[in-house]
Amino acid sequence: MNWTLDTHSIVAPQDFVGSAVAAGIKKENGKLDLGLIFSTRPAVTAARFTSNVVKAAPLLVCLKNLKESGGAIRAIIVNSGNANACTGENGLAVAEKMAILAGRLLAIPPREVLVSSTGVIGLQIPFERMERKAAELKENLGPQGVEAVAAAIMTTDTVRKVCSATSSMGGSTVRITGMTKGAGMIHPRMATTLGFVLTDAAISRDLLEAALTHACERSYNRISVDGDTSTNDTLAVVANGASGAESVEKKDRLFDHFVEGLTAVCQSLAQQIVRDGEGATKFVEIAVTTAPGEPEATAIARSIANSPLVKTALAGEDANWGRILCAAGYSGVSFDPSRVDIWIGDLPVCRGGVGLPFDESRAKQILRSRDIQIRLDLNQGQASSIMWTCDLTKEYIHINADYRT
Amino acid sequence: MNWTLDTHSIVAPQDFVGSAVAAGIKKENGKLDLGLIFSTRPAVTAARFTSNVVKAAPLLVCLKNLKESGGAIRAIIVNSGNANACTGENGLAVAEKMAILAGRLLAIPPREVLVSSTGVIGLQIPFERMERKAAELKENLGPQGVEAVAAAIMTTDTVRKVCSATSSMGGSTVRITGMTKGAGMIHPRMATTLGFVLTDAAISRDLLEAALTHACERSYNRISVDGDTSTNDTLAVVANGASGAESVEKKDRLFDHFVEGLTAVCQSLAQQIVRDGEGATKFVEIAVTTAPGEPEATAIARSIANSPLVKTALAGEDANWGRILCAAGYSGVSFDPSRVDIWIGDLPVCRGGVGLPFDESRAKQILRSRDIQIRLDLNQGQASSIMWTCDLTKEYIHINADYRT
């Protein structure tokens, strides 16, 4: 792949500006909690939202605006500290006011704005605090401000999560820059948490949708922290064509190249979420191979990735492969357990469904690492799949036992 | 209901005997870990096993014996400390030897024996330790010994779980006596963990099956500790007719009476499992009412009962009703969240999908109790359902992080 990835610094693609302020929506005073992203030229946007039937108010506004603008979204207003979910008519009015506010600041129609919120569920959002900071939000707008938005969307995140990819494409240097947040309530079925990806590539809206579907399926839909699917999950990609690159208009080599870059950025962002999973000390890749089909392989990997018993054993650095096979067994997939081989790292621990004698000290050594791979070879087909998850520790309980108050 | 329930002492129904010994299968020396239950007269048995495709060796022997004997099972041999799961040909041979051993001790064909194992997965079971204790196991047999078996099946359980129901039925005093084990890996889809119910009622095998299906659906299939479904789940009911009561031969009033008693015993046992959930400090009933259908109500209750975020909030005594509605939202059931009312105990916290102002100190007081009810009124139908669950605490992680070694 000829995309260069950077997960440390974040550079805005051409003609994107951003800004963030501390509006007092988060409990902790002085923390950035309101952000604005803007393409100074027209753009197209594709987005995925939660599959939860309980959808937060901002998502309803996003769906309406995407429809009314025909995907011509070029701005995102986002707050943390309050999810604006389960807030009824009043919450919906606030989400609409956020779009209107952004539209006024940027001199664009409100229908060209996406609205995002993340934080506690069920509390009314104090909109007047946003209005009070509107002038400052506008003043701060600049290419450097995009980086500040990545900080403004954090809640229980302990690190900022960004990824920037660059490549030569269609005759120009194209940049795809993403940011995301999330550490708990992570079990995407469609997309998860908040993720915003900006690019100066030129691409039609339909193809941007297709590219996002591809990328999302291989990134956000392959991670799990705790099996909870949020009410606010949003992943949006905004493309403004400012790079001057040739426009992607059909499913050709240029499209494939863009998809590759977008997928790499989304995978990096999704994996950063798992690495920062609430209380997590380990990043675990669950690979299922030689399965009868890809959906079956994914279902088995997902079942293992979600098992509290597998995840607590990982926290305890215990090579309890029996729990891994057990979790595969209740995945809903019909398979023959007596053909399954299991590896922890490069250590074979189970062959043909039966335990192998293995060196416990070597197993401990593997499980002591920060990055672990668990592999199941089903030996009953050609398909494979991967999920990324983390361990389940006492710290997860600590973080979540008293989040609201 | 005119069944009298006793969850403290356990009395064997007529013509049932039991016995337990410490065979050294558990890590801790001197702990009871091998038990035998026997009906001194012919009996019929109905049983439910795990829906996990990975089935432990003893379950395969049970399925074969139930078939070969036409349900005429009258003995159960059970060990704890080793699940005899993922143990291959050798494990299957051991499970068969356990049935042969019990048959020899009791002078009955091995096909009239159920075999059960619970404990760590993937280790070979040391059968010679059982043989060494066979004579002692036989010597100890007696009506009082049934109580010892309830202790011999415990693993991470902190308390013995028993329930005995008596009633006048069909002209005699009939007793239904059950024991169960389990504290983790509890998420039954068919039946869970080990549960043995003995009765001196007289009933045909077909009707015993029907009664068990009814009871299981309302008890073991309505609990969840951690969302993991074990490889060894077994629930068996043995009826020997020794009470001299009129035999249940059709679905009449007598059958209904028996079903009522069996369901009450199974519900008590299942609830005892949740109360002893690994690390649990609270017993939580999730009631979903006015739902479009019973399966929908159950799916929503199950989704809430399994949410790590709901369960950690309960551990933290935090009235985070937003997580409750969120978990309902990803249950897979299509419903209108804007009509949902939520109660925590007798405190209304959400009406029409929107938060109500409520007294936080009153909420804390309710959540401080050991027993909590959460109720969702969907206001979109007539059906209702219930699940029983517990909170998720740091102690759960502690127990499971290092179980195997």
Active site residue B192: yes
The enclosing H or E element of A382 equals none
Mean of pLDDT over chain A? 88
DSSP line for B243-276:
T-PPPB-SSSHHHHHHHHHHHHHHHHHHHHHHHT
Do the beta carbons of residue B275 and residue B224 sit within 8 Å? no
Tokens encoding B84:
């005899």
Confidence (pLDDT) at B191: 39
| Percentage, residues of chain B above pLDDT 70 | 94
Do the beta carbons of residue B85 and residue B54 sit within 8 Å? yes
CB contact under 8 A, B335 and A122: no
Residue recorded with tokens 């409100």: A110
Lowest mean pLDDT among A11-20, A157-166, B179-188, B209-218: B179-188
CB contact under 8 A, A316 and B400: yes
In angstroms, what separates the C-alpha of A33 from chain B's closest C-alpha? Answer: 21
Interchain contact A401–B (C-beta under 8 A): yes
pLDDT tens digits along A241-263: 889 888 999 899 989 989 998 88
Alpha-carbon distance of B336 to B261, in angstroms, equals 38
Alpha-carbon distance of A403 to A125, in angstroms, equals 17
Confidence (pLDDT) at A228: 65
Alpha-carbon distance of B318 to B358, in angstroms, equals 13
Interchain contact B85–A (C-beta under 8 A): yes
Better-predicted residue by pLDDT, A86 or A97 = A97
In angstroms, what separates the C-alpha of B173 from chain A's closest C-alpha? Answer: 41
CB contact under 8 A, B405 and A335: no
Confidence (pLDDT) at B190: 38
Q: Which amino acid is at A115?
A: V
Confidence of residue B393 (pLDDT cuts 50, 70, 90): confident
> Which stretches within B319-370 are classed as H helix?
321-329, 360-367
The yes-or-no verdict on residue B225 having pLDDT over 80 is no
The yes-or-no verdict on residue B405 having pLDDT over 70 is no
Tokens encoding A37:
């992203």
Q: Which of A300, A310, A323 is the best mutation test for B, with the most CBs of B within 10 A?
A: A323
Task: Name every chain B residue with its beta carbon within 8 A of the beta carbon of A393.
Answer: 397
Query: Closest residue of A to B361, CA-based?
Result: A405
Mean of pLDDT over chain B? 88
Alpha-carbon distance of B248 to B203, in angstroms, equals 4
Task: Name every chain A residue with its beta carbon within 8 A of the beta carbon of B87.
Answer: 354-355
DSSP line for B271-300:
HHHHHT-TT---EEEEEEEEES-HHHHHHH
User: What secondary structure letter does DSSP report for A212?
Assistant: H
3 state SS of B90: helix
The yes-or-no verdict on residue B112 having pLDDT over 90 is yes
pLDDT tens digits along B31-71: 999 999 999 999 999 988 877 778 889 999 999 999 999 99
pLDDT tens digits along A286-298: 999 999 999 999 9
State the SS3 of B195-231: EEEEECCCECHHHHHHHHHHHHHCCHHHEECCCCCCC
Lowest mean pLDDT among A17-31, A207-221, B90-104: A207-221
Which range scores top for mean pLDDT: A241-255, B190-204, B289-303?
A: B289-303
Do the beta carbons of residue B108 and residue B41 sit within 8 Å? no
Confidence (pLDDT) at A381: 95
The number of C-beta contacts closer than 8 angstroms across A and B is 217
pLDDT tens digits along A163-219: 999 999 888 899 999 888 877 666 544 334 677 888 888 898 889 888 888 887 777
The yes-or-no verdict on residue A20 having pLDDT over 60 is yes
CB contact under 8 A, B337 and A53: yes
Respond yes or no on whether ipTM tops 0.85: no
In angstroms, what separates the C-alpha of B224 from chain A's closest C-alpha? Answer: 12
Do the beta carbons of residue B202 and residue B243 sit within 8 Å? yes
The yes-or-no verdict on residue B229 having pLDDT over 80 is no
CB contact under 8 A, A227 and B85: no
Alpha-carbon distance of B23 to B127, in angstroms, equals 10
Alpha-carbon distance of B21 to B30, in angstroms, equals 9
- B31, with CB counted inside 10 A (0-12, 13-18, 19+), is middle
In angstroms, what separates the C-alpha of B194 from chain A's closest C-alpha? Answer: 16
3 state SS of A109: coil
Q: Catalytic residue, from A50, A192, A193, A234: name it.
A: A192
Alpha-carbon distance of A186 to A300, in angstroms, equals 18
Interchain contact B392–A (C-beta under 8 A): yes
Identify the CA nearest to B349 among candidates B378, B319, B326.
Answer: B319
Task: Name every chain A residue with its beta carbon within 8 A of the beta carbon of B315.
Answer: 397, 401
pLDDT tens digits along A358-382: 999 999 999 999 999 999 999 999 9
Task: Name every chain B residue with its beta carbon within 8 A of the beta carbon of A190.
Answer: none
Q: Which of A229, A309, A322 sits opposite B122 (nearest CB)?
A: A322
Query: Closest residue of B to A331, CA-based?
Result: B52
Confidence of residue B133 (pLDDT cuts 50, 70, 90): very high
Do the beta carbons of residue A329 and residue B228 sit within 8 Å? no
Interchain contact B52–A (C-beta under 8 A): yes
Interface of B with A in 297-326 (CB under 8 A): 306-309, 312-313, 315-316, 318-323, 325-326
In angstroms, what separates the C-alpha of A182 from chain B's closest C-alpha? Answer: 14
Confidence (pLDDT) at A184: 67
Q: Which of A309, A318, A341 is the best mutation test for B, with the most CBs of B within 10 A?
A: A309
CB contact under 8 A, A86 and B355: yes
**How many other C-beta atoms are found inside a 10 Å radius of the C-beta of residue A401?**
20
Interchain contact A85–B (C-beta under 8 A): yes
pLDDT tens digits along B66-81: 999 999 999 999 999 9
User: What value, to the nearest 5°, has the Cα angle with vertex B286 and ends B282 and B289?
Assistant: 160
Query: Closest residue of A to B353, CA-based?
Result: A86
A28 CB-near residues (< 8 Å, 6+ apart): none
Confidence (pLDDT) at B189: 45
The yes-or-no verdict on residue B1 having pLDDT over 60 is no
